[in-house]
Amino acid sequence: MPVTDALNTTLRRIPAWVLYPLGALPAVWFFYLGLTGGLGVEPIKALEHKLGEFGLQLLIAGLAVTPLRRHAGLNLLKFRRAIGLLAFFYVGLHLLVWLVLDVQVIGQIWADILKRPYITVGMAGFALLVPLAMTSNNWSVRRLGPRWRVLHKLTYGAALLGALHFIMLVKGWQIEPLIYMGVILALLALRLKLKQFRPA
């Protein structure tokens, strides 16, 4: 596949660290829109939504790396760590905006976590991302050995919980969060299929 080979050649020349400043730009843009009235009549809610949705999109991008390499020959493995850390960054910002700008009252935060199922699910998804972010470094890979790969399968659960959080959050029947869940399920099914047919 000449096109894929050309893309892979180009990607090999791009250092992985470039993704970090580029990946942070949407957050700057979202906050700018919020400050300048570009997010509508409820800028805090809109900011929460945009940050959380972009974090979910990055989680999906991370899940797609292996299937893209296996099926399309596109090698993005060198960028997977950056994609994962950026996903954690955006989900963390999503949570921070909710805590600091939306709820603000500590007692209300805990009440919301315990009483509102969609918040409980979202917090569970974020909790799964914390150990992944903490071990996304070369030292942890060496230290944990084979356990590192097992630990980082928590990404699957975090993505599923993120999509479920989105589905439970929206009001009424909306197709968008269902599409996210469908894409995640398809990618996980594809990864499972790849493992089943991998030669011994």
Q: How much of the chain exceeds pLDDT 70, in percent?
A: 92
Whether pLDDT at 194 is above 80: no
| Chain segment 103-116, per-residue pLDDT in tens | 766 666 777 777 78
Task: Give the model confidence (pLDDT) of 132-168 as tens digits.
Answer: 999 998 899 889 888 888 888 999 999 999 999 999 9
- Helix 43-67 to helix 175-196 angle, to the nearest 10 degrees? 20
Checking if the pLDDT of 10 tops 90, the result is no
* Predicted model pTM: 0.89
The CA distance from 30 to 145, in Å, is 38
Cβ neighbours around 152 below 10 Å, total: 20
